[in-house]
Amino acid sequence: MADLTSLASMVEKGKHLETARLTKELLDQGMDPNQILNEGLQKGLLTLGERFKRNECFIPEVLLAARAMHAGMDLLRPLLVGTDAKPLATIVLGTVKDDLHDIGKNMVGMMLEGGGFRVLDVGVNVSPEQFMESVQKEGAAILAMSALLSTTMPYLKTTIEALESKGIRDRVKVLVGGAPVTEEYAKEIGADGYAPDAARAVDEARELLGISA
Amino acid sequence: MKPRERFLTALKHKEPDRVPQLIRWGKEIGERLSQIFGVSGEDLGPRIGNDAIVCQVGINALMEMSVGDLSEGETFTSEWGVVYQRQSGFNNPIKHPIEKREDLDTFKWPDPNNPRRLDEIKRVMKKYHNDYVVIVDLSSSLYEASMAHLRGMENFILDSYDDPEWVGRVLDGLADYYSTLGTHAVKEGVDIIRIGDDIGTQTGLLIPPELWRQLVKPRLRRMIRSFKKANPKIIILYHSCGDFSSVFDDLIELGVGFISTMQPTGAQADYAAIKKKYGDRLAFKGGLDTQQLLPHGSPAQIREEVKKLLRAYAPGGGYVFMPGHMLYQDVPTENIWAMMEALRDYGKYPLKI
């Protein structure tokens, strides 16, 4: 018999077919889709995220778990429309200008979704103007930017400066990350938060918005 | 001492006259250095004191300097069917020929026996081999070549779990191609075959080491065996970016004696510990941080770090100086200077640091 603990465990183990099967079973049993989402699917990914933070699992395992979570979410999505389920906040996410790297950024997106946020992924090679436009249009609470190259990292700063000159810097929290980015650099350029990996991006996003875990 | 002798002495774990060097750079830095030294192209390396020449014939050649005439944003398709786009002075793969797994059935592998592939190696051998070490670079070789070029990163990682047998076929195709091409190169008399994949991240291996051992290691073994069959003394240099120290023992077992580029991250941040643990079995190349120190550090900090690096890696030979990656346009000229001066001042044997 399906239960939320085994559903979360299937997500954590990255079993997408099993996850979809259990999600369907729980729905058939009449369980609230919001509960399935929060206490099953998202919980599974976040539990794996905790292990990822402790260096106890590898990137592929996060990708597998995120795929499993999505396999379940696909079944829930039509049922969640019209309920009062609301994401914690909207986060605009992208890789900075001149940088085409996306796997780290994608993982951050998956984890943030697992953490209950609505993530608007605006892709790679995103100019400061495009970031600003999305932030304004979506009413994003957080702008999360990634840079993989030391040569593109300065665009994190350029984008923050662009927010300032447009007078909207105080409306959005800025979260940065990527291989060459450090906490020190994040502070130096005036970002609000820094995360060294995808799992910690969730913690940092919650902290920036004052949401208790 | 000739550069060639210097380099090879160090690889025999003996101390030559000074620490050999092999510094490499992207297009913009190349232009800057050319203006200063009045020498351009491949002659620039020897001019600034490099002791070896690298001849890139692997799939990664297309990402770096060899297609230097593209303008930003421009794209091209390689003979492997990969589409690259120029961005930030680097050609990034943006479209992959094996979009669906069944595309492998009709995938056309390039011909490793095409004699034109040896033209560049022959030319470089003739021009430099008398005085310099010649390295033939066959990277990326297996996992990265599949992941970054042929199939796409997330897809190939998931394939590794969903259908390891299929992944084995892709890796076998690459291992066949490179075994043949590399054997031809070895027969040309080159000194070093460089193979490798970027399998390291900031904190450790990208994929679980057990998965690497299952999928990649047997193919690597096969490649290395074929090179050593053509010349038992051939030196095998294995490269990965990031921290790949969790498979150093495996690489040693396969017959790798030389590794690069020792990016100082994760366990590799402790130079002395790495030298102590593996220094009797591996020679190292690289190590100076290109993510923070070279672009953002001061000349004084760079000087100190070069000293620290040499103190750890250089005693007894077994070390070739190089930054932890190629130099890109964000490194100020004065920092390149500081690095080269520090190497000149502290890199003489017997070491006095």
Q: What are phi and psi of A96, to 5 degrees?
A: -65, 170
- Partner A contacted by B269 (CB < 8 A): no
Is residue B75 a part of any domain in this protein? no
Q: Is residue B218 part of a domain?
A: yes
Q: Dig out the tokens for B113 from the structure.
A: 């026996």
Please give the pLDDT value at position B65. Answer: 56
- Tell me, what's the pLDDT at B68? 59
The neighbouring-strand residues paired with B18 are B348
**What is each CA distance from A182 to A12, A153, B291, in whole angstroms?**
29, 11, 10
Average pLDDT over chain A, rounded to an integer:
95
* Chain B residues with beta carbon closer than 8 angstroms to that of A196: 202
Residue of chain A nearest B205, judged by CA positions: A58
Look at residue A71 and tell me whether its pLDDT is greater than 70: yes
Q: Looking at the domain assignment, is residue B89 inside a domain?
A: no
Q: With an 8 Å Cβ cutoff, is B202 touching chain A?
A: yes
Contact A169, A136 (CB under 8 A): no
Res. A42: pLDDT tops 80: yes
> Concatenated DSSP letters for B157-226?
HHHHHH-HHHHHHHHHHHHHHHHHHHHHHHHTT-SEEEEE---BBSSSBSS-HHHHHHHTHHHHHHHHHH
The answer to whether B75 contacts chain A (CB < 8 Å) is no
Per CATH, the architecture of A90-208 is what? Answer: 3-Layer(aba) Sandwich (3.40)
A74 CB burial (10 A radius; 0-12, 13-18, 19+): exposed
- Distance of alpha carbon B193 from alpha carbon A107, whole angstroms: 35
B101 in a domain, yes or no? no
Residues of chain A with CATH 3.40.50.280: 90-208
Contact present, B29 and B331 (Cβ < 8 Å): yes
pLDDT in tens, B233-266: 999 999 999 999 999 999 999 999 999 999 999 9
Q: Which residues of A fall within a CB distance of 8 Å from B295? A: 150-151
**Mean pLDDT, rounded, for A134-147:** 97
Residue B106's CB is within 10 A of a number of other CB atoms, namely 8
- Among B202, B212, B328, the strongest candidate for a mutation testing the A interface, having the largest count of A CBs within 10 A, is B202
Q: Which residues pair with A92 in a beta bridge?
A: A120, A143
pLDDT at B224: 98
Instruction: With beta carbons less than 8 A apart as the criterion, state whether A46 and A71 touch.
Output: no
pLDDT of residue A213: 62
CA distance to partner chain A, nearest, from residue B158 (Å): 7
Grouping H, G, I as helix, E, B as strand and the rest as coil, residue A90 is: strand
Contact between A79 and A33 under an 8 Å Cβ cutoff? The reply is: yes
Q: Is the peptide bond before B350 cis (omega within 30 degrees of 0)?
A: yes
Non-local CB neighbours of B167 within 8 Å, separated by 6+ positions:
B146, B156, B159, B160, B215
CB-closest option in B87, B154, B204 to A103: B154
Comparing CB atoms, the residue among A64, A179, A180 nearest residue B158 is: A64
Q: Containing domain of residue B317, as a range?
A: 3-69+114-346
Task: Answer for the pair B62, B51: CB distance below 8 angstroms, yes or no.
Answer: no
Contact predicate A91/A205, CB 8 Å: yes
Number of domains in chain B: 1
Mutation target among A18, A150, A182 for the B interface, most CBs of B within 10 A: A150
Residue A115 in tokens: 């953490």
At the topology level of CATH, where does A4-80 sit? Answer: 1.10.1240
Q: What SS3 string covers B108-148?
A: CCCCCCCHHHHHHHHHHHHHHCCCCEEEEECCCCCHHHHHH
User: What residues form DSSP beta bridges with A120?
Assistant: A92
- Alpha carbons B127 and B348: distance in angstroms, whole number: 27
Question: Which tokens sit at A128?
Answer: 């400061």
Q: Is residue B317 part of a domain?
A: yes
Q: Which of A58, A105, A121, A197 to mutate to test the interface with B (most CBs of B within 10 A)?
A: A58
Higher pLDDT residue, A86 or B153? B153
Q: ipTM score here?
A: 0.90
Residue span(s) of chain A under CATH 1.10.1240.10 come to 4-80
Please tell me the distance from the alpha carbon of residue A41 to that of residue B8, in angstroms, as a whole number: 56
Q: Please identify which residue in the block is written with the tokens 């079995």.
A: B281
The residue ranges of chain B whose pLDDT is under 70 are 64-68
Which among B304, B226, B181, B202 is positioned nearest to A148, based on CA atoms? B202
Residues 6+ apart with CB under 8 A from A21: none
Residue B39 within a domain: yes
In this prediction, residue B66 carries a pLDDT of: 54
Question: What does DSSP assign to residue B323?
Answer: B
A1 confidence band (pLDDT: 50, 70, 90)? low
Is B158 touching A (CB cutoff 8 A)?
A: yes
Q: Which residue is closest to A147 within chain B, CA to CA?
A: B291
What distance in Å separates the CA atoms of residue B153 and residue B263, rounded to the nearest whole number?
21
- Within 10 angstroms of residue B222's Cβ, the number of other Cβ atoms is 16
The CATH number of residue B335's host domain is 3.20.20.210
Q: Which two tokens stand for residue B100?
A: 């669906």
What is the side-by-side order of every strand in the sheet holding B52-56? B52-56, B133-137, B192-196, B235-239, B258-261, B283-286, B319-320
Instruction: Indicate the residue type of B331.
Output: V
Instruction: Write the pLDDT tens digit of every residue in A160-204.
Output: 999 999 999 999 999 999 999 999 999 999 999 999 999 999 999
Pairing label, strands B283-286, B235-239:
unpaired
Residues A26, A7 contacting (CB under 8 angstroms): yes
Q: Is the pLDDT of residue A18 over 90?
A: yes
